[in-house]
A and B are shown apart, each in its own frame.
Chain A
Amino acid sequence: MLVQLPGGWNPLLGRLALDQIPYDNPILAPLFVAVVVGTILLFGLITYYRKWGYLWKEWLTTVDHKKLGVMYIIIGLVMLFRGFIDGLMIRTQQVWANGPHSSGVFGALHGYLTPFHFGQVYSAHGLIMILLAATPLLVGFMNIIVPIQIGARDMAYPYLNALGLWITAAAAVLIMISLFVGDFAHNGWFGYAPIFELQYSPGVGVDYWIWTLQLTALGTTLGGINLLVTIIKMRAPGMTWFRLPIFVWTSLSANIIALTSFPALQVALGLVAADRYLGSHFFTAGFGGNLMLYTNLFWIWGHPEVYFVILPAFGMMSEIFPTFSEKPLFGYVTMVAASFAIAGVSWMVWLHHFFTMGAGPQVNSFFSVATMLVGIPTGVKVFNWAFTMYRGRITYSAAMLWAIGALFMLLVGGMTGMMLAIPAINYMVHNSVFVIAHFHSMLLVIVYAIFGSVIFWFPKVFGFRLDEYWAKVMFWLFTAGSALVFVPMYMLGFMGMTRRLDYVFNPAWHPYLEVMEVGIAVYCLSVLAFVVLLYVSIRDRVKNRAGADAWGTARSLEWLAHSPVPFYNFAVTPHVNARDELAWRREHGMDALEPERYVDIHMPSNTGMALYIGALTFVLGFGLTWRIWWLSLLSLAAIILLMIIRSFRGDDGYIITGAELERMEKEALRNRAQADGKYVSGGRGQVAGTAIAYGRNGASMGGDPFNSSRDGI
């Protein structure tokens, strides 16, 4: 042992001991029971309905990008809910523990959470919301939509894709386990030197934080590589760069950011781990350590990360606005340029997260101006969406409402971001709840875009539309909740209320805290509305069945595929003729053509390997957190071994013959005819005038898309 650990350690269980289970905690113990009962119930139901085989074959071992995407989104939604509960707890503590006369229960002087517990709640809240809710939700959408939008059969590396998912799942499980075994970090989602050093955070919380972050970083990096290669190499014939849908462009820029910035995080966390496990002094105050170095390293990743999550959201909005304005996106080239400008600038602004750390005025000025530069392309985007609506024909469907909500949130967030970018203002509101309100406005842009996308692309994946009425009810409840929570929060920022207070010393702030608590209640109702929305939509799924183009005015290539998209996406790779391919085909009467003949296609086979390795990364993270060395070594060795085995065995994939394909297509077309009545069976053929409907033999721009699955890493 290179470091002095308070508390016990033994070779078999590491730091793990019975007293690390908070069975006497009045909040966690009942929750634990509920979780156990729920899990048993779930497993029981699966067994009762004999669904294990189905689960295993169709989901757990799948490499299909759409199913992996759906699982990403499910993880994201579950974690969004967990994060929301954390948020509810934070708000409840602050409204309760306000003023010297407020009462306290469960061992807390004020409110119901002791400071250390409160610290864990908001740290977990931030980490979960950004890395285990927003990120998986967005990665999930990129996974599902990008390959279809570019006319690819699957991702470039289907196996790698599954691996990314299961590592992300491992991270989610690790942070959930920290609820019931040991504790979580209290140093905020971004960590603080030197408070996360062993002297000031002696428990395992910080270790959970390190390894959860490391796993999400790994999973996201793998996903990023995959998306980049897919976009660059797997485009259908005719899908030139300037015909890419904007969502693909923003995914591209976002993943370039991810790939180049996540390593900084992994290095920073590696050094924190070295301090805590090996007794080094990278970030300690003494012995030559430099705690400011950590803050720099973290935000060198942290700022690009916030753009990594906002850019795909911008892409989603850019798909929704034209569809419901019945017009092409205004200023396509500008939009692309703006996305890359945002990505480019995002590497040079990290210091704006710590203007108050005492850098000289020259340095602060540089980063201030650089930060404001981001406002330019962001402003351009807003204008472009506005002019997309201009001279359009706007339908206020639920998806459009969410997109418009996102636009207004962006105006608020951008406005306050421009305030924070000026050091003279920042000194007053940095570390106040004003910053919290700023980035929640921005993250709400993402949430709005995501719910808009859920509604927008749901029919593509599942073949039926979500219920419009309940989607709108949810929208209005959610919007009311947002206003009630964040308007008072901005006001409290101007009153000087700092963030992360587990005891709010000023009783004058009480009315505002109360309004926020009401807002949380309204948010709860919107969660309920979401559940009702799902229930009602699934109940009425036959009535709401969607054709290929679920909205009748959709524009991009993914709407050419059947709804639900078959596992091979397009039976024959389409040839792309225009920027808004579907709109173009609709105009030229080519949107319901059937290919002349079907050829064999090559698909990647399922594999359990990704799941095994993902599970082992969880074990590794758990072993390291508790310093169970034998377990860590064993799981690491097993991971390496599985990787070697996989690399020798490879995946030859399998062939769907042309005849089989034709049969499946016929079936799908019959369903489609019932759904939209649009399909004209006479319209057979490949060529209409000079336009081409299908690429020859499914060849894509960047080579054979199916071979790549064979050398999947």
Chain B
Amino acid sequence: MQTSRIKRLAGIWGCLGFLGLWANTANAGVFWLFDPKGVMADTDLYYMLVDVLTMGAIVGTTALLVIWFMWRYHKGKNRGSYHPEWSHSSFLEVIVWGVPIIAVGFLAYFAVRGTFELNPYDPTILTRVAKPAEKPVKVDVIATDWQWLFVYPQYHMAVANQLVLPEHRPVFFRLTSTAVTSGFFIPQLVGMIDVMPGMRTKNALESSHIGEYQGISSDYAGAGTSWMTFKTHIVGQEDFAGWVQKVQSSPTTMTEAQFNAFAMPYINVHHRVVYFSQVPSGLFDHVIMEVMHGKTWPVPPMMTENMVAYIQKQSAEHRD
């Protein structure tokens, strides 16, 4: 459904022969935003095309107009006639105000509709329009300085720095952070949402495309931000069940005390992934409450100043 809306628009693009060229060539894989793999990202792209088409028509025309004026009224070339006093035309004034007003009115409709469709707390495009029949997956996302912990409360397990999700099933995220503000972003699946300490935000996604997608920490959170990436795997439903089994049989578990150690500043330069077969059921709420009561995970000055020394210290403490 969403995809067909996009196809129609992409067809127009093709005619215009612009961006469509990009999106339809083998290059598309590189342009993550033009190669969405889930309902949410799909819808984002749809609105982008609507906006770019509308604005592009106006901006493009204006640019051509300006270029034409530049050519025609070039002094000494005598192409257009010179009217030294002409500076007002009620007709043109109506046009110059009218065109932007109509364009903005038109786009405003789409802007509001899109905002509701993609509302991260209740994306109606997912919950009312696409309405996947399968049982939802819940994931509690806890960002630390500088790792991601994905808790699967339905399966009483957690995974650090890797997100594995089944195809066709809607996924609902709750997100919080321990230390500072960060951002959760999987370009091909879902847009950004802030992840803030002492607070809970939400997001959701659904994908029917098996594959591996890059997850990014999209907001600057300190020295380790650039390494705070994670891979998202959309897998078949059976594979997902198998993977859950694998995590649940991992020897590593996590308690609240262990979580506090895990959340100590850590730069994940080796992209370490850890499976935790057991997590306390209320970990997510517990983290929020602790932060609200003033818990912090301070950053040692040396880590910010000399990262190499810090990494050495980090490995000396066997934390990587």
Contacts and interface: CB of A to CB of B under 8 A. Distances in A.
Given A419-B51, A419-B55, A425-B51, A115 B180 contact: no
B198 interface: yes
B114 A496 contact: no
Contacts of B223: 114-116, 119
A147 to B, nearest CB: 26
A365 B216 contact: no
Interface stretch (A74-82, A165-173, A247-255, A371-379): A371-379
Contacts of B226: 115, 501-505
Given A414-B59, A424-B43, A372 B196 contact: no
A395 B73 CA distance: 9
Interface in A610-662: none
A427 B44 contact: yes
A119 B220 contact: yes
Contact of A286 (B59, B293, B306): B293
Given A285-B292, A414-B59, A108 B65 contact: no
Interface string B88-103: 1100110111011101
Contact of A500 (B88, B107, B220, B294): B220
A183 B304 CA distance: 11
Interface in B72-116: 73-75, 80-89, 92-93, 95-97, 99-101, 103-104, 107-108, 110-112, 114-116
Contacts of A130: none
A655 to B, nearest CB: 42
Interface stretch (B152-160, B183-191, B276-284): B183-191
A287 to B, nearest CB: 5
Interface string A470-494: 0000000000000000000001011
A186 B221 CA distance: 10
Interface string A455-482: 0000000000000000000000000000
A431 B218 CA distance: 6
A11 interface: no
Contacts of A332: 87
A392 B187 contact: no
Contacts of A506: 214
Interface residues of B, number: 110
Contact of A495 (B30, B48, B70, B85): B30
A682 interface: no
Interface centre among A188, A494, A499, A502 (most CB of B within 10 A): A494
A329 B44 CA distance: 40
Contacts of A394: 69-70, 73-75
Q: Which size class do A's interface residues fall under?
A: 35 or more
Contact of B56 (A286, A382, A383, A415): A415
B100 A389 contact: no
A360 B121 contact: yes
Contact of A505 (B96, B219, B229): B229
A329 B87 CA distance: 6
A421 interface: yes
A428 B117 contact: no
Interface string A344-373: 000000000010111011001100110011
Contacts of A329: 87
Interface stretch (A56-64, A192-200, A522-530, A701-709): A192-200
A319 to B, nearest CB: 14
Nearest to A503: B226
A203 B111 contact: no
A496 B87 contact: no
A501 B214 CA distance: 15
A287 B295 CA distance: 9
Given A115-B307, A415-B52, 8 more contacts: A188-B220, A331-B87, A356-B194, A364-B115, A365-B111, A389-B70, A419-B48, A424-B43
26 contacts: A114-B306, A193-B181, A195-B222, A285-B291, A285-B296, A325-B73, A327-B83, A327-B86, A330-B87, A331-B88, A356-B192, A357-B201, A364-B115, A368-B115, A380-B96, A387-B92, A389-B66, A391-B81, A395-B75, A411-B63, A418-B55, A422-B47, A422-B107, A427-B190, A495-B31, A501-B226
Interface of A: 6-7, 107-109, 114-116, 119, 183, 186-188, 192-195, 199-203, 284-287, 291-292, 325-332, 334, 354, 356-358, 360-361, 364-365, 368-369, 372-373, 375-376, 378-380, 382-384, 386-396, 404, 407-408, 411, 414-415, 418-419, 421-432, 491, 493-496, 498-506, 508
Q: What 9 pairs across the A-B complex have the smallest Cβ distances? A: A427-B191, A424-B114, A496-B187, A379-B100, A286-B294, A285-B197, A383-B96, A496-B32, A424-B47
